[in-house]
Amino acid sequence: MSSYSRLLFILLILMLTPMATFGAVCTTTISPPTSIQATIDAASPGDVVCLSAGVYTEGDKIDIDKSITLQGPQFGVDPRPILGTARIPGGAGEAIIDGAGSVSSGNIVILASDVIIDGIQVRGNSGDLIDAETSTPTANTIIRYTIVNDSSGDEGIQLRTTANALIENNRVFETGGDGINVCCGSNGAVIQYNEVHDINSPDGAIYLYHDTNPPVQINATILSNVIYNVNNNDGIKVGSKDGDDALLNGGQILHNQVTTTAQDNITVYTSNVLVQGNQVTGSESENGSIYVSFEADGAAVDSNTILNNGTAGGDITYGVRVGKGALFPTNTTVNANCISGNEQGLLYVFPNAGPALDATNNWWGDASGPSGSGPGTGDSVSPNVTFSGFQTGGCLLEDPDDDRIFSIFDNCPNVFNERQEDTDTSTPEGDACEVIPLPVVVDVPVNNGLAMLFMILLLAGIGLLMMHRRQESV
């Protein structure tokens, strides 16, 4: 092999070697019992405060009042049990901020924009574990790869008056309040790829509402979360429980898996909400597995599997319920869903002479169609519902790769790819299905000096290659 060929081969190996995503470069690294608050007080905006593994017990809330990154040793490491994580809450590899049951106003209070929290564990108080206050508007908060657990009386994460927050790849569990709450003048939040479970909130596992003046559109995206064991109320709720947000735009609820809830799996109390591609089961609600109410307008319940909700002897649980009492949502549609095995199928509460609800193209659990006001023996349907054109060949919504994205939406339906990465947009297939795989990107802690050395070697190799070709051409 010529030197030119050998060099070219080495460069190709380097280029195709799986590359790691590097955490932010640490400005300061501390270990217990060093005070996190004192370290933040001494930091400058843009700094990266890195926490070594161990238990940090501050005895008071930690105020993050400048744009910094708080980074733990587990940055970029997914903590969700559904993915078979090796992370163990309280484990030796975690940087744990422990309220020790004595902090009532938030273990961490975010008081600045552009704050990032990545790869830590926050646990153990009677108030919110991670909090942002109404009096201090913030923007672009990121909370990711973090374990949040054991709040005896309030929320796991509660962000108030915040714009464009990103809450992703977290595990939130054992909270007395909501697991994740974004409220009070917030808009544009993205809540995705979280596992939220064993929640004792009187409201919901994930709860978004407005509750301030002047009105601010919520416009949230709730995507691909797994929610289970919600012991007192709803799985996902968008809109204030008193109905004050009914005319605000709620956003999108997409590809979530919600099971085993005391009340609704998904509750819609705002307008123009798309509820699509979700898997909902195991609700014991007095309303419905999916429930639309108050004066919410334009909700679209599309392509969800709504299966096995309600049990005999308790409250009547509907697969889908639209309206209740004198509360009449408008322009709701219920299409292309699989509604089967529920105590009752669909209930539409409407005013006198109200328009029929469009519930066409659903599978009702039997080829004969819905029962009740329908002609068949499937799940029941109430009066004033248009159900013609129902599916007769069984449920068409399948998820063979178990990534919570039905095949009709999945850009690689037989390979787990919950994020739907698609670097090569010239083809419809996602990266997981490309014939020639792109370089793998993995999240692993890597020394930044090694990363710099890698880049220097790669650039040096390219330079040597160019010099060699120039010499050969002389």
pLDDT one-digit tens code per residue, 283-305:
999 999 999 999 999 999 999 99
What is the pLDDT averaged over residues 404-422? 95
pLDDT band at 7 (very low <50, low <70, confident <90, very high): very low
Nearest to 339 by CA among 311, 385, 302, 314: 302
Nearest to 173 by CA among 39, 302, 82: 82
Q: If DSSP codes are grouped into helix, strand and coil, which group holds residue 271?
A: strand
* pLDDT tens string 112-156: 999 999 999 999 988 899 999 999 999 999 999 999 999 998 999
Nearest to 383 by CA among 340, 360, 341, 350: 350
Question: Does 202 score more than 70 pLDDT?
Answer: yes
pTM of the model: 0.88
* pLDDT tens string 438-474: 444 444 444 444 444 555 555 555 555 555 555 555 4
pLDDT reported for residue 343:
96
Could you give the strand order of the β-sheet that contains 279-283, starting from the edge strand earlier in sequence? 54-56, 95-98, 121-125, 147-151, 171-175, 195-199, 226-230, 257-261, 279-283, 305-307, 338-340
How many Cα neighbours within 13 Å face the side chain of 461? 19
Question: Does 204 score more than 80 pLDDT?
Answer: yes
Q: What percent of the chain has pLDDT over 70?
A: 86
Higher per-residue confidence, 158 vs 454: 158
Query: Are the C-beta atoms of 99 and 91 separated by less than 8 Å?
Result: no
pLDDT reported for residue 391:
97
* pLDDT tens string 170-185: 999 999 999 999 999 9
Higher per-residue confidence, 97 vs 12: 97
* pLDDT tens string 341-382: 999 999 999 988 789 999 999 999 999 999 999 999 999 999
Question: Does 14 score more than 50 pLDDT?
Answer: no
Question: Does 107 score more than 80 pLDDT?
Answer: yes
* pLDDT tens string 21-62: 456 899 999 999 999 999 999 999 999 999 999 999 998 899
Q: If DSSP codes are grouped into helix, strand and coil, which group holds residue 185?
A: coil
Most confident of 215-219, 309-313, 378-382: 378-382
Higher per-residue confidence, 363 vs 424: 363
pLDDT reported for residue 317:
96
pLDDT reported for residue 296:
97
Question: Does 408 score more than 70 pLDDT?
Answer: yes
How many other C-beta atoms are found inside a 10 Å radius of the C-beta of residue 196?
Answer: 31
